[in-house]
Amino acid sequence: MPIGNGRLDVHWIGSSNWSQPSLAISSLSLDILCRALLAHATQKTALTIVGAYDEFLSVLGSSADRGQLQKLDASTATSDDLFLRMRKLSHKYNAGLEELFFDSKEFALLTRKYGVF
């Protein structure tokens, strides 16, 4: 049985016990995020999230950068420029998600009601 507003293909599966449902979402997580950004986010928020994600993947796509990150240990990570760049990107991505979930009128209401803290 489809649920939601028709923007996502979400179905309840499993037992008919509605107190412990399972969800099957037939889209990739990134697709779902992008649909949410298009429908509910400001351009600034969308660019923050997608830009940080794209740059993060770009670094991971470089074998030299991956090798540099793999060689780090806890004692040297905080003095490594690439690690600090990746950390900054993760904080930027997180800030964008916070904007989406707490500053978007529709998502703020859903976050308040269904968010798990």
What are the pLDDT digits (tens) for 22-60?
444 445 788 888 888 998 899 999 999 999 999 999 999
Q: Which two tokens stand for residue 90?
A: 């993760």
Least Cα distance to 93 among 33, 57, 53 occurs for 53
What are the pLDDT digits (tens) for 102-115?
998 888 888 888 88
What is residue 12's predicted lDDT score, i.e. its pLDDT?
41
What are the pLDDT digits (tens) for 50-94?
999 999 999 999 999 999 999 999 999 999 999 999 999 999 999
